[in-house]
Amino acid sequence: MTVVSATSSTTNKVLPHPLNAWYVAGWDHEVTRKPMSRRIANRPVALYRTEDGKAVALADACWHRLAPLSKGKTVGKDGIQCPYHGIVYNSAGRCVSMPAQETINPSATVPSFPVVERYRYVWVWLGDPTLADPDLVPDMHQMSSDEWAGDGLTIHAACNFQLVLDNLMDLTHEEFVHSSTIGQEELSESDFVTVREGNKVTVTRWMRNIDAPPFWAKNMRDKFPDFEGKVDRWQIINFEAPSTINIDVGVAKAGTGAPEGDRSQGVNGFVMNTITPETDRSSHYFWAFMRNYRLDSQLITTQLRDGVHGVFGEDEEMLMAQQAAIDANPDYEFYNLNIDSGGMWVRRILEAMLAAEGRLAVSA
């Protein structure tokens, strides 16, 4: 187990959001020919699709008078028209038409941001476009794999994105926040291992020969109708910078080899999470629950999505209350326990990213 001093502390100040990174702007089905707006890392972005279906992300402010382009309409093969005076921009952000004049001012452009569509999401890069390598999109392959089935939703979380990351990197809170569904006292009693490799952090926890909490008992019976008895339970939390956390979770009949790699006598899911900062105190929280059993059952997909949404609603309530307390106590420093080791590594990775951008200064 990785040990962190229980007396160590860290600031509760808001860190800026790294910009040289991929953030989810929306589910792929959200972005259509009709323009939409989404604020990402404090910046309004206009999103739409060209006539041939390519997703586009432009700064949501016209060059002329800063009118929001997202309130306009798509025109031609790849253009968007400002709703105020009719200026038209192409997908690269360059003006191609101005009202009442043939000569186009060469400075008439709006920023265009690199876009990648992957894993059922539209990802946007707001930083240096020369660094926007598609290979840096965090791995969420379960979202689009034929070997996994599931669905998810979006939560608008009224808190800083790092509070969501803290919540997901330490799952011992399940014992107290989710006591009726996935929580149990073994979460606090079990050992764990924290490993950092580059911009990734993994926290691994096994709980052996325990009773399955209600959520997992139901899932075991979905696959094994006659199931009863003890289980081995696992939680393997995988963080990838700047804000994607995929959690390998499940239970298997106790003593059937799951800790050694044989999960055939159990049920396995992935809780897919990617958090996009909206402002310093609000976030877009995109999540899904994917499973590798009973893939053809839409009933199970819907039940799992709705059940997990209820669990996350309990998290949302706690995170909102925590953000309010932070705002009311701006000079208070967080204290860290052993269970915070994963979250502390995440903070260090974010600080390193910000230092590389020359933006490490902490804001109030």
**What SS3 state is found at 278?**
strand
294 vs 190 pLDDT, higher one? 294
355 vs 179 pLDDT, higher one? 355
Q: What's the chain's average pLDDT?
A: 89
**Confidence grade of residue 327 (pLDDT, cut at 50, 70, 90):** confident
Tokens of 35: 């323009």
Answer yes or no: is pLDDT of 15 > 50. Answer: yes
pLDDT number for residue 14: 65
**Confidence grade of residue 72 (pLDDT, cut at 50, 70, 90):** very high
| Chain segment 97-156, per-residue pLDDT in tens | 998 888 898 999 999 999 999 999 999 999 999 999 999 999 999 999 999 999 999 999
**Confidence grade of residue 4 (pLDDT, cut at 50, 70, 90):** very low
The secondary structure of 36-60 as a DSSP string is: EEEEETTEEEEEEE-TT--EEEEES
Q: In what helix (H) or strand (E) does residue 274 lie, and over which residues does it extend?
A: strand 266-279
| Chain segment 184-205, per-residue pLDDT in tens | 566 666 688 999 999 999 999 9
Contact of 69 with 56, CB cutoff 8 Å: no
pLDDT number for residue 41: 96
pLDDT number for residue 6: 36
The rounded distance, in Å, linking the Cα atoms of 285 and 121 is: 12
Percentage of the chain beyond pLDDT 70 is: 90
Any idea of the CA torsion for 184, 158, 323, 363, to the nearest 10 degrees?
Answer: 130
| Chain segment 265-282, per-residue pLDDT in tens | 999 999 999 999 999 999
The rounded distance, in Å, linking the Cα atoms of 163 and 318 is: 10
Strand order in the sheet with 192-197: 149-157, 282-291, 266-279, 244-253, 231-240, 200-210, 192-197
Answer yes or no: is pLDDT of 172 > 50. Answer: yes
pLDDT number for residue 338: 78
Report the pLDDT averaged over residues 219-238.
94
pLDDT number for residue 202: 96
| Chain segment 30-44, per-residue pLDDT in tens | 999 999 999 999 999
Percentage of the chain beyond pLDDT 90 is: 72
pLDDT number for residue 315: 74
How many CA within 13 A on the CB side of residue 208?
Answer: 8
Task: List domains and CATH numbers for the chain.
Answer: 33-112 (2.102.10.10), 136-356 (3.90.380.10)
Longest dimension (CA), the chain: 78
Answer yes or no: is pLDDT of 362 > 90. Answer: no
pLDDT number for residue 44: 98
pLDDT number for residue 363: 44
